[in-house]
Structure 1
């Protein structure tokens, strides 16, 4: 019962984002105006003009003009072909079933080319199914149907790209840019406090003022971006904004570390030219953040990253400092410059991501990929049952084909609503499919009841068209808020249009019954055809995150172990990127598990602890990597190597234990392998934090095996 209540809450939960009112009105104009013109001019086939405009509006997921034109243009072409193909194949039942299997599977497999291709494939499949249910009697009618759908889509493209361009990711852009501006304000204040030799009280005041504000800004940006991506579907644009937000996060933590170093310097050290150069580099960082924020806020092309001077110390200055400064002072300055170098690397990474966000593509080293690599490469890489996209495409194709066969055999009226429901509900993951099914069925039932109540009072085009305009606008506007509510207004719209075209006022009941049947088929297909429940995927994701952290730890300690060449910043950036992706994947898998209807194989508390401390462990290792590595004694290097090897073995054992569902091996005494405090006080303190994080991870993995599914730990003192 509690699980049903949780699912019910998820069905009616609204995302914390404003409705896309302007996008809804624009979609209503693209959808309804062609239908009005067709009725006014007594042109048959207005429904296909309407469908073309609606599908093209739905395929507009934002981005640069080139990206939007490409996705909408692909939707136009695929939709026209789908309408023509469905009209021809619908003349024979056997041909309908065969072509449906091939076409829908191929369209679903198009997801290997990205989120935009997946949306185009879904709309093309829907157009095919509707056309399949309404066969024609000649090739000329089939060509006319495809042409009308293309004409409606062309009108939607002209409206979206020329007459009324809208920035659907505008709020997310502004929120992410606000994160950069908040970090820039804090970095500027750190530079000013250092320059004037502020007191400890002044530093503390600024920390209290800025840290909470920046954290709130980043949290708001994250929730805004998540809601936009959830409402509009995954897209490359949303992914690039997410990367930029993560870069702002690591910039914030790095500025905190740099501020701590600057605050610790004596007043006489602040006046030294080398520390003044650090202060100037921080000013350069602020200028770059201002440029990044402006670039993120606007659409279109961005200018090249500026060639500002970051003022790194010259070799001559370094040799002079070696003679004049104490070891502690040199270490502090070296640590500060290491942090500045990290900030510069983050700026360069953000600049590249910002360029991709604007629809531009950076030239890759080496020759550009060939046509075969671009087109055939993703297909070749995913032609196996191990591919999630391939399994999902087969599942959608087979389930849709069964729905087509059932509709042809047993459903005389509007059987395509069964198939459309299957196409809409089926998602790559079980939890998402179940949630979408509940929202689709519930929304269709409510919308069907409303349509039945309103059908008799809207019996002329003059009364119907304004009402349909409003319902289309509302349905598109509220997609980011809640899919179920979107389904209510979508059902209301198309049931009224279908009833008006056919004069049959019982279609609301037919729509509800057909949707219920389609929902049942979709869930059956999800559970019977190559389902990999999240309880099987989550251990793999957790193990991958643990192994990514293991590699990062070994990389961070490699500078302090041997005389080999130290890893470059690009190596660290790639390691951090792998950690971020692996942790995000594990967190997303856990959230999907919580939405599954049959989640009986995973305790909650240990996994939540494991996910939280994976990020804290990564932060502790980043602190080690950012600290100076020079001056480590030979004895300490031996101790660090032993510690690193033991810690790496523990992390690998934890990954294997998570993956196999077994208890981990006993935790060794990592504290006994730490360097001597008198020789390496800073490094020992940092490695102590790493060891404590490993202990927490080990405990979480142990409890995960010991607890029963979804068991919550007892409160202290309870039997």
Structure 2
């Protein structure tokens, strides 16, 4: 799985610098997540079908191109078995269900409405199974939405269309397992390269803040809640990718040992960078020391970036020579507060961070999967189930959009129905985010399609121009949904023009109008039918983050060589809990609230938790604990109990007793101040009302 060319991390740093100008709630994206290999595969599959249609003078092959494109999007991209199941399953489901929808449309509008409702509901119901199942089912429902605009009346007339469409799906699947095979280690190499790129950005962003004398607490908080959170998520994705590999492919594999060792080492480097950024936030640098520290961190960022690039090279050994540069740089990066804050050595073991998954024989695996899904279905057989509610919402919204475009006689109305289907998400915040990105991306894409239409008019030229557009669409889909929608719009406009030549400007305007209408339907329904507000989940997520971070603080304060693994696990749990709460906070801020006191409280609390995690890591690495560490631990434990009471809505049992910091080390003193700040945040006036529901009006 190759990625877009990266000659120097400074290019990505420029993109990150631009992204910092956006509002804090806006979607963050990084070009590092682009996958050129996936884009080229989808582009080759779709363009080959268009060229074949041009050679055979058969415009129906535009449907084969669409089928090939969707099949590439349905790729689960894990083990070969899962990839075959997802791509092959989509090919069969979309052809069968799309054919049924096309015949229902031919039988009349009521039958078409029933088919749209049924297949949309079934797609929404798959959210109770897994994200991969929902991805396949949603794409199959999209195929139904598009084919409902091609009514069929008899099998003889429908056979050419469905056969050609299915052949495009099969071609993309065969291409993925023959000429365009993805190496079993490729997803893990990609995930590790992205993890080290995130570590590089973490070091470079810390250097930027150190060098900027005007950086304030807000800048450091953004560094912790965004850049650090992305590094944590990328490392977790690398772990999951390694653990998803079947045992048959990793026994005795040197490549797997190198990759699992790299994941463990990334965790170690990540902890060090957390401690450095925390110490740098509190340190008072002179001009020369500031410049020296920034240069060291920039150099570390460059080394980490090059290490990540090496991991994507097949059969490459672990870059020991590059890794050995990091300790020397860390020794030059001594901070005024802790002179012995140094990078830990490379991990001694080569574990992958968890138990390896054994791949069962496929008949047994299929049986277990069906039984597990049946149990999930029985557990969710109620209208109280979030999966069932989302299925009903999705079906109602999609059917309403379909009925509206039929009543308004809108050209290419299936685009509005399709937009409603893909924009509507289980939560309000996600729906808002997806709707805004799709509307903005479609508007820009429509302008691009109109400009291309002035230059490209022949079927051959359309086929060739579709190649880079589809390549960019698929390559950038993980980077940003808005960029995905931007290049998807001209791709579909040109394919539609290939199937039925007309004005590209007309197609572009029609797609823009339909997309905006579809987004409006999705936003309307998400607030009318069982709205799931992200603020409801935010309360429990922040409370969980508080508990996990305080548990890590206590573990770090009393860590011994025998408890190192447990302390590392506590740090990992704290980071994941903070990530989850911060993601929910971003979504909650998109909701129209009557008051925002609860969100401000949550934001301030999460920022303090990031500082507590950083200071805890400093304590572990500096080893400058004082003789009063036992008394400090007791005070922190007592404060944690009071904070837990506050999160539960109870008043404190006693007044908060400050801890004397005169004889404490720098990191310990910072811990005392941070825990005190957290205590006051949780125990402030009306804290219980703010935490339990940020939507409640203020009491008189």
TM-score category by the smaller chain?
A: 0.5 to 0.7
| 1:700 to 2:692 alignment | no
User: Residues 641 and 493 of structure 1: is their aligned pair in 2 closer, same or farther, counting only changes over 3 Å?
Assistant: closer
Mapping of 1:247-646 within 5 angstroms?
248=265, 251-252=268-269, 348=351, 350-352=352-354, 355=356, 370-371=368-369, 373-384=371-382, 387-452=385-450, 454-455=452-453, 458-505=456-503, 506-549=506-549, 578-596=573-591, 600-602=595-597, 606-618=601-613, 643=635, 646=638
Give the aligned partner of residue 154 of structure 1.
170
Q: Distance in 2 between matches of 1:426 and 1:234?
A: 29
Describe the SS at the equivalent of 2:51: helix
Describe the SS at the equivalent of 1:17: helix
Q: Distance in 2 between matches of 1:153 and 1:236?
A: 28
TM-fit CA distance, 1:116: 2.0
CA-to-aligned-CA distance 1:209-244 (integer Å, 9 cap, x gap): xxxxxxx9xx98975897999xxx999649989999
User: Residues 587 and 224 of structure 1: is their aligned pair in 2 closer, same or farther, counting only changes over 3 Å?
Assistant: closer
User: Residues 298 and 469 of structure 1: is their aligned pair in 2 closer, same or farther, counting only changes over 3 Å?
Assistant: closer
Equivalent residue for 2:132, pick from 116, 119, 131 = 116
Mapping of 1:96-107 within 5 angstroms?
96-107=112-123
Equivalent residues of 1:31, 1:50 under 8 A apart: yes
TM-score (norm 2): 0.66
TM-fit CA distance, 1:585: 0.9
Q: Distance in 2 between matches of 1:7 and 1:537?
A: 26
Equivalent residues of 1:553, 1:648 under 8 A apart: no
Equivalent residues of 1:7, 1:435 under 8 A apart: no
Give the aligned partner of residue 217 of structure 2.
none
Equivalent residues of 1:19, 1:478 under 8 A apart: yes
TM-fit CA distance, 1:162: 2.0
Say which is worse superposed, 545-554 or 398-407, in terms of deviation.
545-554
TM-fit CA distance, 1:603: 6.1
Say which is worse superposed, 29-38 or 144-153, in terms of deviation.
144-153
Equivalent residues of 1:34, 1:46 under 8 A apart: yes
Q: Distance in 2 between matches of 1:502 and 1:249?
A: 52
Equivalent residues of 1:181, 1:293 under 8 A apart: no
TM-fit CA distance, 1:418: 0.9
TM-fit CA distance, 1:53: 0.4
Q: Distance in 1 between matches of 2:582 and 2:451?
A: 44
User: Residues 228 and 128 of structure 1: is their aligned pair in 2 closer, same or farther, counting only changes over 3 Å?
Assistant: farther
Q: Distance in 1 between matches of 2:584 and 2:471?
A: 34
CA-to-aligned-CA distance 1:186-205 (integer Å, 9 cap, x gap): xxxxxxxxxxxxxxxxxxxx
Q: Distance in 2 between matches of 1:479 and 1:254?
A: 30
Equivalent residue for 2:192, pick from 128, 153, 173 = 173
Give the aligned partner of residue 105 of structure 2.
90
Describe the SS at the equivalent of 1:413: coil
Give the aligned partner of residue 564 of structure 1.
none
User: Residues 144 and 386 of structure 1: is their aligned pair in 2 closer, same or farther, counting only changes over 3 Å?
Assistant: same
User: Residues 649 and 446 of structure 1: is their aligned pair in 2 closer, same or farther, counting only changes over 3 Å?
Assistant: closer
Q: Distance in 2 between matches of 1:406 and 1:361?
A: 48
Q: Distance in 2 between matches of 1:238 and 1:434?
A: 33
User: Residues 691 and 383 of structure 1: is their aligned pair in 2 closer, same or farther, counting only changes over 3 Å?
Assistant: farther
Give the aligned partner of residue 66 of structure 2.
51
Equivalent residues of 2:643, 2:683 under 8 A apart: no
User: Residues 256 and 595 of structure 1: is their aligned pair in 2 closer, same or farther, counting only changes over 3 Å?
Assistant: closer
Q: Distance in 1 between matches of 2:534 and 2:402?
A: 29
**Structure 1: unaligned runs, 5 residues or longer:** 183-215, 259-291, 303-338, 561-566, 710-719
TM-score (norm 1): 0.64
CA-to-aligned-CA distance 1:396-454 (integer Å, 9 cap, x gap): 22211211222333325321111111122222332332232222223323333443455
User: Residues 377 and 154 of structure 1: is their aligned pair in 2 closer, same or farther, counting only changes over 3 Å?
Assistant: same
CA-to-aligned-CA distance 1:111-153 (integer Å, 9 cap, x gap): 3333322221221111010111211111344455444333212
Q: Distance in 1 between matches of 2:239 and 2:555?
A: 32
TM-fit CA distance, 1:521: 0.5
Q: Distance in 2 between matches of 1:522 and 1:575?
A: 40
Q: Distance in 2 between matches of 1:619 and 1:501?
A: 58
TM-fit CA distance, 1:534: 2.7
User: Residues 527 and 248 of structure 1: is their aligned pair in 2 closer, same or farther, counting only changes over 3 Å?
Assistant: farther
CA-to-aligned-CA distance 1:624-680 (integer Å, 9 cap, x gap): 99999xxx99xx99x7997576334213123224xxxx98676432649x9xx9xxx
Q: Distance in 2 between matches of 1:557 and 1:18?
A: 37
Say which is worse superposed, 525-534 or 597-606, in terms of deviation.
597-606
Q: Distance in 1 between matches of 2:616 and 2:233?
A: 28
**Structure 2: unaligned runs, 5 residues or longer:** 1-19, 202-222, 246-258, 276-306, 318-343, 691-700
User: Residues 481 and 464 of structure 1: is their aligned pair in 2 closer, same or farther, counting only changes over 3 Å?
Assistant: same
Equivalent residues of 1:101, 1:398 under 8 A apart: yes
TM-fit CA distance, 1:584: 1.8
TM-fit CA distance, 1:530: 1.8
Q: Distance in 2 between matches of 1:579 and 1:224?
A: 14
TM-fit CA distance, 1:698: 1.3
CA-to-aligned-CA distance 1:85-128 (integer Å, 9 cap, x gap): 22222223222222222211221222333332222122111101
| 1:649 to 2:641 alignment | yes
TM-fit CA distance, 1:248: 4.5
Describe the SS at the equivalent of 1:163: coil
TM-fit CA distance, 1:62: 3.4
Describe the SS at the equivalent of 2:32: coil
CA-to-aligned-CA distance 1:308-332 (integer Å, 9 cap, x gap): xxxxxxxxxxxxxxxxxxxxxxxxx
